[in-house]
C-alpha cells in the first residue's frame, strides 16, 4: 500500500470511529475543513506511526504544521525517503 493510500485509509477509519462527516478528500482540501478536528488528526498521526513506522512530527527540524491534505501526505512521503 502506498503512503498516500495508507493516509487516506486512516483518515477514513478515524472519521468513521469518531462519527465525523468527511468532506470530499483532495490535495487542496484544508485539514481544518476536512471534518476531522485536531484530536482526530492526532489519532491519525498515532495510527500512521504504527502502520508506517514514521512520525514526521517528532523530528527536531519539523517545519510548521501542514495546512492542506496534500501537504500532510507530502510530509509523510518525504519522511519515508
Q: What angle do CA 66, 69, 73 make, to 5 degrees?
A: 80
Closer residue to other proteins (CB): 26 or 58? 58
Residue 58 near other proteins by CB under 8 A = yes
Residue 32 near other proteins by CB under 8 A = no
CB of 28 to other proteins, least distance (A): 26
Q: Which residues of 66-80 are buried (b: 16+ CB within 10 A; e: fewer)?
A: bebbebbbbbbeebe
Residue 45 near other proteins by CB under 8 A = yes
Classify residue 51 by burial, with Cβ atoms within 10 Å: 0-12, 13-18, 19+: middle
Tell me the site size for other proteins, rule CB under 8 A: 11
Residue 55 near other proteins by CB under 8 A = yes
Amino acid at each position: 500500500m502506498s503512503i498516500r493510500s495508507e493516509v487516506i485509509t486512516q483518515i477514513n477509519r478515524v472519521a468513521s470511529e469518531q462519527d465525523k462527516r468527511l468532506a470530499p478528500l483532495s490535495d487542496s482540501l484544508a485539514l481544518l475543513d476536512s471534518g476531522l478536528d485536531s484530536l482526530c488528526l492526532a489519532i491519525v498521526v498515532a495510527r500512521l506511526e504504527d502502520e508506517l513506522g514514521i512520525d514526521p512530527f517528532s523530528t527536531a527540524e519539523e517545519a510548521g504544521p501542514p495546512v492542506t491534505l496534500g501537504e500532510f501526505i507530502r510530509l509523510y512521503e518525504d519522511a519515508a525517503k
